[in-house]
Amino acid sequence: MEASRIAQSIGFTLDRFIKNNQEQFQFASGELSQLLRDIALASKVVNREVNKAGLIDIMGPLGSQNMAGDDQQKLDVLADIRFTRALKKGGEVCALISEESESYEDLNNDGKYVIAIDPLDGSSNIDVNVSIGTIFSIFRRISKVGGPIQQEDILQKGSEQVAAGYILYGSSTMMVYTTGHGVNGFTFEQSLGEFFLSHPDMKAPEDGKIYSINEGQANSFPESVKKYVQDCKDNKMTARYIGSLVADFHRNLLKGGIYIYPPTAKDPNGKLRLMYECNALAFISEQAGGMATDGKKRILDIQPTTLHQRVPFFVGSKKMVERAQSF
Ligand code: P6P
């Protein structure tokens, strides 16, 4: 987008932007637009709760665990309820896959879309006031609308996504998403309660000097990953690891960098989930000119076999992911 159009387009509300770009959706029947608006609405509600988490009694663990085996924080469960309710009411979604529930949720047999969502990723950071995020993937259902949900609807490859995005509840709250026609970022204006286009046509720097990995687990990294991390140090790169995937991913998308969650002794397939973490960020990264693999294979080409399957995750600036793979 040339500078003049960028200047003109900054300040569009999310609603206006979705409407203006609706004709780009291959199934431009308005439902996908409505779906994105439903997600944005739910994120405004979650944003409000996140912003006052310190003040009302929704802090701390619930004492239950989710599918990832993480202790569920009250805000996790609250966010899951908010997104599920918004998507159920909208009517466009037939099935919902969430980190917070074991099986998929059958929402509306007439819905044309399947959503995979991590309602609140980085939950361990909630109580210490570090940025957290929502990650979502949108697929078209394959089986006949009106009929029962089929396995083929649920376990689709990332390359089948029709849209994907994240909301980052950080120093400002942003929604970044793609429908396969580039990546756009919207910043939430609290007093108006609206998302405004602030980062049109986002592009991942082709190379970068930031690497994000939890080196506390380095002893159990594969040799190739150990070699790559050493290479980053030999090249005097900057280590930045917030421990909140959306925050690390977003910073690296803007500044250039690589995020790695490799196989470890604790998580031999890595810790991150294919369906509702890696697929969405891989789609966004590629749409911005970046790259995402499991260390060997393109994330979007991986055929899921189970809802909560984990994959090793290498994502970010193309040249950095290629170099990491060369080790
Ligand atoms: P570790 C948070 O629980 C999360 O899923 C991601 O947001 C984050 O990048 C990663 O796990 C942190 O995991 O093992 O480094 O603490």
Q: Is residue 320 part of a domain?
A: yes
Q: Is residue 205 part of a domain?
A: no
Structure confidence at residue 244 (pLDDT): 96
Ligand 1 atom nearest 266 alpha carbon: 14
In angstroms, the CA 249 to CA 314 distance is: 11
Quick check: CB of 214 below 6 Å from ligand 1? yes
Which CATH number covers residue 233? 3.40.190.80
Given pLDDT bands bounded at 50, 70 and 90, which one contains residue 55? low
221 and 137 both lie in a single domain: no
- Indicate the range of 5-9, 24-28, 281-285 predicted with least confidence: 5-9
Among 241, 266, 271, which residue has the most ligand 1 atoms within 8 Å of its CB, making it the best to mutate? 271
Structure confidence at residue 182 (pLDDT): 95
301 and 175 both lie in a single domain: no
Ligand 1 atom nearest 248 alpha carbon: 9
158, 176, 199 - which closes a domain: 199
Q: Is residue 280 part of a domain?
A: yes
Structure confidence at residue 31 (pLDDT): 83
86 and 195 both lie in a single domain: yes
161 and 281 both lie in a single domain: no
Structure confidence at residue 199 (pLDDT): 96
Q: Is residue 223 part of a domain?
A: yes
* Average pLDDT, integer, range 80-92: 89
For atom 2 of ligand 1, the residue with the nearest CA is 122
In angstroms, the CA 307 to CA 97 distance is: 7
pLDDT per position as a tens digit, 240-249: 999 999 999 9
Taking the centre of ligand 1 as the mean of its atom positions, its distance from the CA of residue 245, in whole angstroms, is: 6
155, 170, 199 - which closes a domain: 199
Quick check: CB of 134 below 6 Å from ligand 1? no
For atom 10 of ligand 1, the residue with the nearest CA is 243
180 and 38 both lie in a single domain: yes
Ligand 1 atom nearest 212 alpha carbon: 9
Ligand 1 atom nearest 70 alpha carbon: 3
Q: Is residue 308 part of a domain?
A: yes
Given pLDDT bands bounded at 50, 70 and 90, which one contains residue 159? very high
188 and 264 both lie in a single domain: no
Percentage of residues of the chain with pLDDT beyond 70: 91
Quick check: CB of 247 below 6 Å from ligand 1? no
Structure confidence at residue 215 (pLDDT): 96
191 and 47 both lie in a single domain: yes
Taking the centre of ligand 1 as the mean of its atom positions, its distance from the CA of residue 26, in whole angstroms, is: 35
95 and 150 both lie in a single domain: yes
For atom 13 of ligand 1, the residue with the nearest CA is 243
Residues labelled as active-site residues: 70, 76, 99-100, 118, 120-121, 277
* Average pLDDT, integer, range 123-129: 81
Note down the domain range covering 229. Answer: 210-326
Given pLDDT bands bounded at 50, 70 and 90, which one contains residue 252? very high
Non-local (6+) Cβ contacts of 214 within 8 A are: 241, 243, 261
- Amino acid found at 199: H
Given pLDDT bands bounded at 50, 70 and 90, which one contains residue 142? very high
219 and 189 both lie in a single domain: no
Mean pLDDT, the chain, as a whole number? 91
For atom 4 of ligand 1, the residue with the nearest CA is 122
Q: Which one is predicted more confidently, 2 or 269?
A: 269
Q: Is residue 204 part of a domain?
A: no
229 and 123 both lie in a single domain: no
Maximum CA pair distance of the chain? 58
Taking the centre of ligand 1 as the mean of its atom positions, its distance from the CA of residue 151, in whole angstroms, is: 29
Given pLDDT bands bounded at 50, 70 and 90, which one contains residue 309? very high
Q: Is residue 183 part of a domain?
A: yes
Assign 129 to helix, strand or coil.
Answer: coil
In angstroms, the CA 16 to CA 196 distance is: 9
Structure confidence at residue 24 (pLDDT): 75
139 and 68 both lie in a single domain: yes
Quick check: CB of 271 below 6 Å from ligand 1? yes
pLDDT per position as a tens digit, 29-42: 688 888 999 999 99
Quick check: CB of 243 below 6 Å from ligand 1? yes
Quick check: CB of 220 below 6 Å from ligand 1? no
Non-local (6+) Cβ contacts of 65 within 8 A are: 71, 72
Q: Which one is predicted more confidently, 26 or 152?
A: 152
C-alpha closest to that of 273 among 121, 151, 163 = 121
Quick check: CB of 66 below 6 Å from ligand 1? no
Q: Is residue 139 part of a domain?
A: yes
Percentage of residues of the chain with pLDDT beyond 90: 72
121 and 186 both lie in a single domain: yes
pLDDT per position as a tens digit, 160-209: 999 999 999 988 999 999 999 999 999 999 989 999 999 999 999 999 99
158, 177, 199 - which closes a domain: 199
Tally the domains of the chain. Answer: 2
Which CATH number covers residue 115? 3.30.540.10
